[in-house]
């Protein structure tokens, strides 16, 4: 029986979390470095990402070590052996009391992802915003959020996934709504899959365009410009100049008095004939 087995299913999952994070980061790092090899001297942005990845990897190594220490402090010296499973040394069988303590620790960290996200919405937003503005790696943000919320890296990863998707949509929508003198007004085409899993909101809007997604309501108490149909939504907003959207056959809607109204025709340029109609009746 391996030490991981002996630590009980929940301790198993904690160890699995740590191992998965370590492996995925190693893999990510290797892939980034591999791309650097293929694109030598070509793209400064990619080079910067590579440098960031190395720095982040070191931080994550430290974070994993800290997690190991944390478990050891609470659960006793034998728990160190369970953590050692992460770095490849099989731990010895754990006594029942240590196993229970480990279970308690991990149980304390298990919470609904949505609840974690809501409780720490602002913290996550700040971490994500900081990461985006400084060009930091998202893996870095995950570590930061995990540390800040005192939750598992896996939970933090879920929360950050949702926050990053939201931040990505927000960035695209915000700049498209910000019109300078002479700038083109945009409609927002709702793009993504059409299948049996679409939420009612997505089913209603996919393939259509709106003048301002902030006016819509997805019925989930979440900003539509950030989350589209809700958490884990597969759809996104594609800002498109209004004449181009009409040219490509999209209908454009606005919300007036709480109900969607088709306003496509109000954006069509007046035709020569229409401008020169003479009522001879």
- Where does this chain bind another protein (CB under 8 A)? 16-17, 20, 24, 27-28, 31-32, 35, 45-46, 49, 52-53, 135, 137-139, 154, 157-158, 161, 164-165, 168-169, 171-172, 175-176, 178, 180-184, 186, 188-189, 191-197, 232-241, 244, 248
Please state the closest distance from residue 228 (CB atom) to another protein, in A.
8
Please state the closest distance from residue 99 (CB atom) to another protein, in A.
22
Measured CA to CA, the distance from residue 114 to residue 112 in angstroms comes to 5
Measured CA to CA, the distance from residue 117 to residue 123 in angstroms comes to 9
Cβ proximity to another protein, 129 vs 172, nearer residue: 172
Residue appearing with tokens 């974690």: 116
Write out the DSSP string of 218-241.
-SSSS-HHHHTTSTT---EEEEEE
Cβ proximity to another protein, 61 vs 195, nearer residue: 195
| Phi, psi for residue 280 in degrees, rounded to 5 | -100, 0
Cβ proximity to another protein, 67 vs 98, nearer residue: 67
H or E segment to which residue 252 belongs? strand 252-256
Cβ proximity to another protein, 150 vs 195, nearer residue: 195
Please state the closest distance from residue 35 (CB atom) to another protein, in A.
6
| DSSP structure class, residue 256 | E
Q: Look at residue 216 and give its three-state secondary structure.
A: coil
Please state the closest distance from residue 278 (CB atom) to another protein, in A.
33
Cβ proximity to another protein, 102 vs 206, nearer residue: 206
Residue 167's Cα: distance from chain center in Å? 8
């Amino acid at each position: 029986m391996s030490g991981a087995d002996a630590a009980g299913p929940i301790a198993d999952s904690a160890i699995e979390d740590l191992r998965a994070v370590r492996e995925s980061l190693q893999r990510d790092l290797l892939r980034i470095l591999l791309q650097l090899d293929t694109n030598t001297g070509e793209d400064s942005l990619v080079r910067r990402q590579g440098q960031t990845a190395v720095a982040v990897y070191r931080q994550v190594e430290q974070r994993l070590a800290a997690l190991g220490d944390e478990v050891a402090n609470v659960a006793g010296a034998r728990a160190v052996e369970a953590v050692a499973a992460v770095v490849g040394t099989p731990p010895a069988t754990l006594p029942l009391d240590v196993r229970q303590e480990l279970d308690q620790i991990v149980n304390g960290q298990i919470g609904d992802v949505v609840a974690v996200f809501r409780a720490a919405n602002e913290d996550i937003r700040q971490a994500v915003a900081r990461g985006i503005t400084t060009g930091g790696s998202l893996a870095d943000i995950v570590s930061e959020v995990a540390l800040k919320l005192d939750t598992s890296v896996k939970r933090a990863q879920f929360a950050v996934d949702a926050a990053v998707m939201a931040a990505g949509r927000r960035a695209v929508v915000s700049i498209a709504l910000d019109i300078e003198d002479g700038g083109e007004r945009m409609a927002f085409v709702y793009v993504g899959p059409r299948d049996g899993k679409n939420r009612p909101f997505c089913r209603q809007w996919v393939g259509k365009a709106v003048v301002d997604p902030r006016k819509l309501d997805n019925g989930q108490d979440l900003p539509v410009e950030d989350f589209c149909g809700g958490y884990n939504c597969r759809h996104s907003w594609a800002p498109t100049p209004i004449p181009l959207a009409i040219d490509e056959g999209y209908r454009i809607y606005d919300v007036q008095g709480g109900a969607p109204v088709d306003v496509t025709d109000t954006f069509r340029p007046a035709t020569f004939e229409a401008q020169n109609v003479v009522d001879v009746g």
